[in-house]
Amino acid sequence: CFSPALYPVYHNPEAIVVVVDVFRATTTMAAAFGNGVRSIRPVATVEEAQAYKAKGWLVGAERNVKRCEFADFGNSPFDYTPEKVSGKDIVFTTTNGTRAITIARSAYRVVTGAFINLHAVAGYCLAYKRDVVVLCSGWQDKVNMEDTLFGGALADILVNTGLYGTGSDAAVIARDMWTNNKKDPAGYLELSEHIARLKANHLEDAVPYCLTLNLTDKVPELVVTEDGVLILR
Ligand code: MLT
């Protein structure tokens, strides 16, 4: 469980990296795939997203929790309905989540995790039996409660199979948080800074959804297309 700033220190090219941004980017992406999106093209900057928009792409873009004016979608999982995204390719940029994905791009495999696809992500990791690094998108390079709690939930599943040790001290702490919290993501709500940000912008409606376990079995995986572009599919 490390923040994007620390990732280069803990980069393990042989590992599976699970990028998490519970509120809301990786929840939104898992929801979009659950609703039939064909691919999501994560880009780190607004300028890249605007360039795609100018070329006619569907774009989801958020900065500081607000939808960017030029974009078709913001960063709420409720924006990506089957009617709007099924079969579509979407360009996506968020304040922290998509930046973390691009930082992790050189790992053996990169997937995105959230509480809504927790068990599916655990199954993906178990199929490879490789080290797992949980990259917590956090907020401006600070690890946050909800992403850490996800890391603890994933660690708890993997360790309980007997195939994994808890690894880093951070993973031990995160797993203890999860088990001491009776494995209920909502237990730490009052400690989540990001919920306050969402509330200040009247965007807290997605919070219960983001904290619900296993709504989809989709695991967005980062791949490089023939023309060298990173997409999740
Ligand atoms: C992020 O990428 O930092 C968050 O998903 C921001 C948000 O909740 O809109």
* pLDDT at residue 2 is higher than 70: no
Residue to probe by mutation, ligand 1, list 20, 43, 46, 62, most atoms within 8 Å of CB: 62
- The pLDDT-based confidence of 191 (bands split at 50, 70, 90) is confident
Mean pLDDT of the residues in the chain: 91
* 171/68: higher pLDDT: 68
Ligand 1 center to 64 CA (angstroms): 7
Task: Output the pLDDT for position 11.
Answer: 72
- The pLDDT-based confidence of 229 (bands split at 50, 70, 90) is confident
Task: Output the pLDDT for position 211.
Answer: 95
Task: Output the pLDDT for position 139.
Answer: 83
* Ligand 1 in reach of 93 Cβ (< 6 A): no
End-to-end CA distance of the chain: 24
Ligand 1 center to 196 CA (angstroms): 13
Helix and strand tally (H, E) in the chain? 10, 9
- pLDDT tens per residue across span 51-95: 999 999 999 999 999 999 999 999 999 999 999 999 999 999 999
Do 73 and 80 form a contact (C-beta atoms < 8 A)? yes
Cα–Cα distances (Å) from 95 to 66, 114, 206, 212, 218, in that order, read 10, 17, 17, 23, 23
Cα–Cα distances (Å) from 203 to 38, 179, 181, in that order, read 26, 29, 25
- The pLDDT-based confidence of 181 (bands split at 50, 70, 90) is confident
* Tokens at 214, concatenated: 């296993």
* Ligand 1 in reach of 3 Cβ (< 6 A): no
Task: Output the pLDDT for position 187.
Answer: 77
Q: Considering the entire predicted model, what is its pTM?
A: 0.94
ipTM for the predicted complex: 0.89
Ligand 1 center to 147 CA (angstroms): 12
**Sequence letter at residue 176:** D
Query: DSSP letter string over 115-171?
Result: GGGHHHHHHHHHHHT--EEEEE-TBTTB--HHHHHHHHHHHHHHHHTTS----SHHH
Kindly state the average pLDDT of the residues 141-147.
86
* 160/13: higher pLDDT: 160
**Sequence letter at residue 217:** D
Secondary element (H or E) of residue 178: helix 169-180
Q: Cα separation of 66 and 80, whole Å?
A: 15
Residue to probe by mutation, ligand 1, list 21, 98, 192, most atoms within 8 Å of CB: 21
Residue 20 forms beta bridges with which residues? 113, 136
Q: Cα separation of 89 and 176, whole Å?
A: 39
* pLDDT at residue 130 is higher than 70: yes
Ligand 1 center to 26 CA (angstroms): 9
C-alpha radius of gyration, the chain, whole number: 16
* pLDDT at residue 3 is higher than 70: no
- pLDDT tens per residue across span 206-217: 999 999 999 999
* Ligand 1 in reach of 156 Cβ (< 6 A): no
Ligand 1 center to 87 CA (angstroms): 24
